[in-house]
Amino acid sequence: MPKDHGIGASSKRREDVRFLTGDGNYTDDINVHGQAYVHFLRSDVAHGRLTSVDTSEAGKMPGVVRIFTGADFEGVGGLPCGWCVTDRHGEPMQEPGHPVLAQGKVRHVGDPIAAVVADTPEQARDAAEAIIADIEEFPAVVDMKAALKEGAPKVHDDLSSNLCYDWGFVEENREAVDKAIQEAAHVTTLELVNQRLVANPMEPRVAIGEYSRARDEHTLYTTSQNPHVIRLLMGAFVLGIPEHKLRVVAPDVGGGFGSKIFHYAEEAFCTFAAKAVNRPVKWTSSRSEAFMTDAHGRDHVTKIELALDADNNFTALRTDTHANMGAYLSTFAPSVPTWLHGTLMAGNYRTPLIYVNVKAVFTNTVPVDAYRGAGRPEATYQLERVIDKAARELGVDPIALRRQNFVTEFPYATPVAVEYDTGDYNATMDKLEEIADLKGFAARRKESEARGRLRGLGVNCYIEACGIAPSNLVGQLGARAGLYESATVRVNATGGLVVMTGSHSHGQGHETSFAQVVADMIGIDENMVDIVHGDTANTPMGMGTYGSRSIAVGGSAMVRATEKIIAKAKKIAAHLLEASDADIELKDGAFTVAGTDKSVAWGDVTLAAYVPHNYPLEDIEPGLEETAFYDPANFTYPAGAYACEVELDPETGKVTVERFAAADDFGNIINPMIVDGQVHGGIGQGIGQALLESCAYDENGQLLSASYMDYAMPRADDVPFYSVDHSCSTPCTHNPLGVKGCGEAGAIGSPPAVVNAVIDAMQSGGHKVDHIDMPVSPSRVWTAMNG
């Protein structure tokens, strides 16, 4: 029987009432009395020297409050990078400055040159058009390999080259891997591109800076996945404002997918300008601005080689990747192609020797950072594509080849530094074969062929490292932050609870699922628990939401804080029941003396805590409020197996996804309906990447896909009904809920399944095509089949 409340119940998402009735409170819904508006003048060339910025005419235009240029930010900190990667030779990465407004040079289309603050948005825009910016244009660096050539134009003149770092992992394995590949019975090689993407959350970014002279306090309202991180980064590194003088509020946020993790120039600008002009300053991104200023995702060019012995056991893996950083280092950019990517190269397999080389490159493009999955989709895609290619070359069944090489014993220490605590990859594969009805594929293919269509089946596995992350470990790896999470549980006198979390919900449904956890622990109705997030003024310091970490890390903090609450409540109950603490049991919201029918209700205990007339004041304080911080002992390792069936129209090259099945092991599940939704959304984005989305630049660094006219987002009719299952569960061994996280799995696991299916379809039609790059557009398919 499915549960109808608490952990395991598909409780309806309580937040949807306000989202679906237009009652949400997004940053752009906030208007602060007296606010002015900023419009940014942005570079329309990719690379050049700013010879002059003449604001004299613009400054006289109606409504203009003040115009800022890079000169106003001399002496102000630049946007910081939160992760320092050490290269193969033990040297720190090259780390260029990132000014709030361009100083000296512009480095990508969209780089802000000046900012006009005016009474209305239109006036600010009018005045921005009247600014005369002289730019001496330089050749743009767009292609990563060209960027690394001798004599290539430099994005940053003060760096020695366009190479951010050359990372080797595990460097000590390099020679052994080379040798194993040389001696292998078979080596499969694949060169591929994991294309650049734009996150495209439904809500574009917004920032409002506010300053109180009387209190010398700053407030920033912003579209962020992690308000505390923004407060720390912006306060400490950019503007020099201590935390107690800076409040950051991220109210309802309409999707992030990673792009709202990072600290952006516009946030710092609005906070800075609000004090400078002594008025609140608001910025609302247009969709066009979003395309050229939101951090982009992925953009890897990779060569991968898989070595196998004569029995088809994987013996070694070598990868060589160029990862685009764009023009500046976004907040967590350096970590994505390294620690979030190289550490996952073992996948679900026992490959004893692995070497990953990553060259991170500066180019005259928008900075690239984490996008749903962040590094793990890049790892999964290349690994699962090369395994598929190997199976074809060897003439073996791709599922059998995978099963043969699965990790089956846990814990399993990979050769790439991580230790999988638990899993059962054969179980998810079995489940997949069942829910995808792989037995019925041959008949479905026949039916497609009768209609002149080719049909292909693609299967793959994935594993991800979620629940980010043990602070001491990531500290050693270069993180400049800890990655714990926090919760404060406040019980009110009449028994209701408010739980304040440092994580943030921007679509994930925390307000529902987190409440289920706490209510379940106490045995009370979920509606007695409210979840508060998004405001540094009323939540404990926390690191926010990304990397499928919220339930695994934030949920664990909540469990710890609730445990403290229960322990204290038991003491109060013991006092009321004149029993010993050790004899008190909590069940269904009542405290009972074990083995008796003496009991006191939850509400009586909470009331006693706040009206302590009959209370053990000599032993414990009044009140019932506890905080816990939780730092995970390890990552969590969700894993699964996905299958995709496509139909391909050989005349036009158009591919349609006909069936998609996902068997995931997320450990324990709090709310199955929300988990389904997360997987659905992730698969939708994965299909989007596989078939449709591409952020393209021309050789001059002009963004070609700068609007929805050219950037293809997946729509409802691009995706089939999904068949998803998460009944195969090996609970996480090291967090109290046994949960692993499910936010990114769909986006990580689906692109290789789609592309494998397309290759299978083409091969079934006699086309000897063994690779095609994403997005698998009709024109690419047709060209591949007729090239």
Site for another protein, rule CB under 8 A: 125, 129, 288, 651-654, 691-692, 694, 696, 704-705, 708-713, 775, 777-779, 782-783, 786
Q: How far is the CB of 708 from another protein (least distance, A)?
A: 6
Beta pairing partners, 33 = none
170, two tokens: 């595990």
| 74-77 long-range contacts, CB within 8 A, separation 24+ | 74/103, 76/100, 76/238, 76/239, 76/268, 76/272, 77/237, 77/238, 77/239, 77/240
CA 628, CA 559: separation in Å to the nearest integer? 9
Q: How far is the CB of 188 from another protein (least distance, A)?
A: 30
CA 456, CA 463: separation in Å to the nearest integer? 23
Q: How far is the CB of 710 from another protein (least distance, A)?
A: 5
First to last CA, the chain: 56
Instruction: Give which of 747, 601, 750 is closest to 258, Cα–Cα.
Output: 747
CA 634, CA 217: separation in Å to the nearest integer? 38
- Report the DSSP pairing between strands 246-249 and 217-222: parallel
Q: How far is the CB of 308 from another protein (least distance, A)?
A: 37
Q: How far is the CB of 783 from another protein (least distance, A)?
A: 7
Q: How far is the CB of 775 from another protein (least distance, A)?
A: 8
Q: How far is the CB of 40 from another protein (least distance, A)?
A: 15
CA 435, CA 419: separation in Å to the nearest integer? 29
Instruction: Give which of 219, 173, 176 is closest to 356, Cα–Cα.
Output: 173
Q: Determine the distance from the C-alpha atom of residue 112 to the mean position of all C-alpha atoms in its chain, rounded to a whole number.
A: 25
Q: How far is the CB of 301 from another protein (least distance, A)?
A: 18
Question: Which residue, 435 or 695, is less far from another protein as judged by CB?
Answer: 695
Question: Which residue, 413 or 696, is less far from another protein as judged by CB?
Answer: 696
Q: How far is the CB of 656 from another protein (least distance, A)?
A: 12
Instruction: Give which of 194, 216, 526 is closest to 386, Cα–Cα.
Output: 194
Contact indicator for 169, 341 with CB cutoff of 8 Å? no
419, two tokens: 């230790």
**Burial (CB count <10 Å: 0-12, 13-18, 19+), residue 27:** buried
Neighbours of 745 (CB within 10 A): 34
| Sheet (strand 584-587) strand order | 584-587, 590-593, 599-601
CA 777, CA 787: separation in Å to the nearest integer? 15
CA 401, CA 188: separation in Å to the nearest integer? 13
Neighbours of 229 (CB within 10 A): 26
Question: Which residue, 126 or 645, is less far from another protein as judged by CB?
Answer: 126
Q: How far is the CB of 437 from another protein (least distance, A)?
A: 29
Question: Which residue, 164 or 772, is less far from another protein as judged by CB?
Answer: 772
- Tracing tokens 């306090």 back to the chain, one arrives at 217
Instruction: Give which of 460, 471, 350 is closest to 412, Cα–Cα.
Output: 350
Question: Which residue, 311 or 717, is less far from another protein as judged by CB?
Answer: 717
Q: How far is the CB of 330 from another protein (least distance, A)?
A: 25
Question: Which residue, 628 or 655, is less far from another protein as judged by CB?
Answer: 655
CA 330, CA 339: separation in Å to the nearest integer? 16
Q: How far is the CB of 781 from another protein (least distance, A)?
A: 10
Q: Which helix (H) or strand (E) holds 573?
A: helix 555-577
375, two tokens: 């590094």
Question: Which residue, 39 or 575, is less far from another protein as judged by CB?
Answer: 39
Neighbours of 136 (CB within 10 A): 11
Question: Which residue, 278 or 652, is less far from another protein as judged by CB?
Answer: 652
178, two tokens: 């080379």
Question: Which residue, 21 or 786, is less far from another protein as judged by CB?
Answer: 786
Question: Which residue, 720 or 736, is less far from another protein as judged by CB?
Answer: 720
Question: Which residue, 285 or 694, is less far from another protein as judged by CB?
Answer: 694
Instruction: Give which of 384, 409, 435, 438 is closest to 663, Cα–Cα.
Output: 435
CA 410, CA 348: separation in Å to the nearest integer? 12
Task: Determine the 3-state secondary structure of 618 from DSSP.
Answer: coil
Question: Which residue, 457 or 648, is less far from another protein as judged by CB?
Answer: 648
Q: How far is the CB of 782 from another protein (least distance, A)?
A: 6
Q: How far is the CB of 691 from another protein (least distance, A)?
A: 8
Question: Which residue, 104 or 708, is less far from another protein as judged by CB?
Answer: 708
Q: How far is the CB of 130 from another protein (least distance, A)?
A: 13
Question: Which residue, 416 or 648, is less far from another protein as judged by CB?
Answer: 648
Question: Which residue, 124 or 586, is less far from another protein as judged by CB?
Answer: 124
With a CB cutoff of 8 Å and minimum separation 6, the contacts of 129 are: 58
